Amino acid sequence: MRVNYEKWSLRKKHFWLRIWEDYEIGYLDRDLIPILVVLNRDREIYTTSSCSGRIVIVDGNIPWTREETSVVFKSHIPITTSDLVFIYEKPPRKAYWLIVTGPIIHFSTTSFRKAVEVLKRARGVGFKHSGIMHVSTSRGVFTELVTGVYMTQLLRLQDEYIVAPEYLNRILLVFNKALIEGKLRLQKLYEELQKYLPENLDSQVEEELNKRNIKLVEQKPIEIFYNMCRDVCRALINIY
């Protein structure tokens, strides 16, 4: 398959600028920035929607259908019981589910060779559920990197507590550990890709980076994560 590089490059420019728009409004996961930069610095890669890993509460009959659920709480750092007091104060429309997911990285390349090389390295550091999703001449080879870090727990029905308040802390300990495991795998991915990328430096991306002079670019994902959650993260990692 031959990619239309002109169209592909326009999409790369759009998504690259979108990263910084999301950063400025506070929408972007800050601990994603280093790995997004590593990938985009290569002339043959651009990233799209991605997540560094998070804990959410959704309200729905089943937790995995977007159409029938709504997110009522979200955090990219470990949480405590005080964050979830509301589940005992206000009944759900259907049911409250606690979910933790690991990092998900989406990117496009101009060739199968590049996609497969990144995939091989990602799987080697714990992104075992990754794969090529689709290909097109304008969008290139679209790939998803997924760790498989995922857990869900039903917390409350409309008229019944499934997890009583006195047991919630034990549940959160396990879910926080899973969140941190995902963050550690993100760090390993960052370290592995740094050895390989960029093969061909994207001069436009490099120029934009120099102009912005954002300190987060110089930090590792795990360092940013530590700063986001401070003492609670360090304590949990020692337990883990």
> Which of 101, 102, 106 shows the shortest CA–CA distance to 50?
106
| Dist CA 138 CA 27 (whole Å) | 27
Residue 110 contacts residue 141 (beta carbons within 8 Å): yes
Band (pLDDT 50/70/90 cuts) for residue 210 is confident
Q: Which domain holds residue 44?
A: 5-239
Domain count, the chain: 1
User: Helix or strand or coil: residue 198?
Assistant: coil
pLDDT at residue 64, as a whole number: 82
pLDDT at residue 237, as a whole number: 53
- Range name among 50-54, 59-63, 84-88, 197-201 with the lowest pLDDT average: 59-63
Q: What is the pTM assigned to this prediction? A: 0.91
Strand partners, 108: 46, 142
Residue 41 contacts residue 197 (beta carbons within 8 Å): yes
> Which of 180, 191, 187 shows the shortest CA–CA distance to 234?
180
pLDDT at residue 217, as a whole number: 80
CATH code assigned at 140:
3.30.1960.10
pLDDT at 231 over 80: no
Please list, in sequence order, all residues whose beta carbon lies within 8 angstroms of the beta carbon of residue 167, skipping any fewer than 6 positions away: none
pLDDT at 239 over 50: no
Mean pLDDT in the chain? 92
